[in-house]
Amino acid sequence: MQEAPTLIEYVHLEVSLLSSVATLLRYSLVLLLLTWFGEALSAAQNDGNYRLFILDSQQGSPYSDVRLSMLDYLGQYGYVEGKNLQLAFHTAGNDIDKGEAILKSEAAKGYDLYYMGGTAATVAAKRVLYGAAPPVVFASPTDPVGIGVIDGFNIPPKSNFTGISYPVPVDSRFRFIRELMPQARRIGMIYADMPQSHSYNEWIRKMLDHDPYFKDLEVVFRKVPLVKGEEGDRRMAEMAIPLIQELDSEVDLFIKPNDQLGARRHFAKMVYAHASKPLIGIVKKDVMEDWGATAVIYPSHRMIGKQAAAMIRDLFEGKPIREIPPQWPAHFGYAVDITKAIQFGITIPVGLLQLAGENIRI
């Protein structure tokens, strides 16, 4: 039969427990002090000055539009270059490997935050910065979920990446086309062989397969090889001319792809010069700067910049990145070219004219 513990044994047990609790309290206090000291040291090193690294996928629109808007709104939030903000700016020439090399060469310079403009820059940043300490804010990549830096939108980031994607949702774009050209059935899309194109085209295929509203539509895809470099979009647009001519008699309209070929002016000009069918653009300039499109529903570059600036401000102010969920673009715009609509026999609905507002080219 087991004997009951003696009073002395109870006392020893209680003393042992108290000693353990005291040890845990001491360790907790040390951890709190280390955390406070680290934050204080970081604040002292930062001293109210912030270092922001910027990598755009390529020169020009849409990256420059979004970046300049982001910097403008950061200034409105009190973060001004030369005052309390230091900037380092690079472009990758639409070359992921080049972007990766730039990031590796800059990684040890102690930037407080990295900003990535577009898909190529975001892919490069994933290779170098994913899971590292500095936060990364992306703006205007087509498919950050497909890239693998986030799991979804409006949910906490899974790592050190957050930001804003680029495209108008596919179904919204096709509803716009259907309202503008209700008799259209076959749509031509010529795209560059790029990751963002593959993601976007797959979204189109899934929508056509699963949404009864679009069951009578067909998209005819044609591909041109990717050409890197700042002049790559011009060369790809020239390579697309035979495909434009091939599809012209087969389709009711063309739409710009959601990639480098679509984001720049050369492809729109080539379609307008070599096709007898209208083009639906992807950026505001397709219509308003007479690049060649008849109409467009587009993401607001300025508002994407504003969304990115708000995220950067919150991170500068100490908000944890896990509390800053990735977002879709918050604002879309419409633009129409009346002259081209008449040329192609399109009657623009009054509702679309009202949505376009001042973005009507005559």
- CB burial of 92-118 (b: ≥16 within 10 Å; e: otherwise) equals bbbbbebbbebbeebeeeebbbbbbbb
Contact indicator for 107, 276 with CB cutoff of 8 Å: no
Residues 260, 354 within the same domain: yes
In this structure, is residue 98 part of a structural domain?
Answer: yes
Residues 242, 263 within the same domain: yes
Residues 112, 253 within the same domain: no
Q: What is the chain's length?
A: 362
What pLDDT is stored for residue 47 in this prediction? 65
Which of 358, 333, 337 is closest to 65 using CA atoms? Answer: 333
Residues 246, 260 within the same domain: yes
In this structure, is residue 31 part of a structural domain?
Answer: no
Residues 220, 253 within the same domain: yes
Residues 135, 192 within the same domain: no
Contact indicator for 49, 84 with CB cutoff of 8 Å: yes
In this structure, is residue 113 part of a structural domain?
Answer: yes
Residues 259, 353 within the same domain: yes
CA–CA separation, 27 and 9 (whole Å) = 27
In this structure, is residue 27 part of a structural domain?
Answer: no
Residues 89, 75 within the same domain: yes
CA–CA separation, 212 and 238 (whole Å) = 36
What pLDDT is stored for residue 41 in this prediction? 36
Partners of 217 in beta bridges: none
In this structure, is residue 40 part of a structural domain?
Answer: no
CA angle (64 as vertex; 61, 70 as ends), nearest 5: 130
Which of 325, 285, 323 is closest to 307 using CA atoms? Answer: 325
Residues 130, 153 within the same domain: yes
In this structure, is residue 84 part of a structural domain?
Answer: yes
In this structure, is residue 217 part of a structural domain?
Answer: yes
Residues 174, 277 within the same domain: yes
Residues 160, 264 within the same domain: no
What pLDDT is stored for residue 195 in this prediction? 85
Q: What is the CATH number of the domain that holds 133?
A: 3.40.50.2300
Concatenated DSSP letters of 41-65: HHHHHHTT-EEEEEEESSSSTTHHH
Residues 185, 319 within the same domain: no
CA separation, residue 324 to residues 23, 112, 255, 327, 330 (Å): 37, 16, 34, 9, 15
Q: How many domains does the chain have?
A: 2
10-residue averages of pLDDT along the chain (362 residues): 45 42 44 39 59 96 95 98 96 95 94 97 97 95 93 94 94 96 98 91 95 97 93 95 98 94 94 98 95 96 97 97 95 96 96 94 94
pTM of the prediction? 0.75
Range of the domain at 191: 170-299+333-361
In this structure, is residue 328 part of a structural domain?
Answer: no
What pLDDT is stored for residue 9 in this prediction? 46
Contact indicator for 252, 184 with CB cutoff of 8 Å: yes
